Amino acid sequence: MRAVSRIAQARSRSGPELYAVLIIAGIALVAVGVASGDFWAILANARMICLSCIGIQ
């Protein structure tokens, strides 16, 4: 029983840091994409895929 509580405590402690790392990594990848000029091409493809799934395009 005690080992389970240690695992639960370890998971709860690493949660916010993990989310912060993922958010920072996402922002960094977006910045790299904008800097390399691929952002608009990716946005256009994502818009086309999203609108075609909805049935608008």
pLDDT digits (tens, 9 = 90+) for 3-49: 556 665 655 556 778 899 999 999 998 888 888 888 788 889 989 99
**What sign results for the dihedral spanned by CA atoms 7, 13, 14, 15?**
positive
Q: What is the pLDDT of residue 4?
A: 58
Q: Is the pLDDT of residue 54 over 80?
A: yes
Q: What is the pLDDT of residue 8?
A: 58
Q: Is the pLDDT of residue 1 over 90?
A: no
Long-range contact list for 17-22, CB < 8 A, 24+ apart?
Answer: none
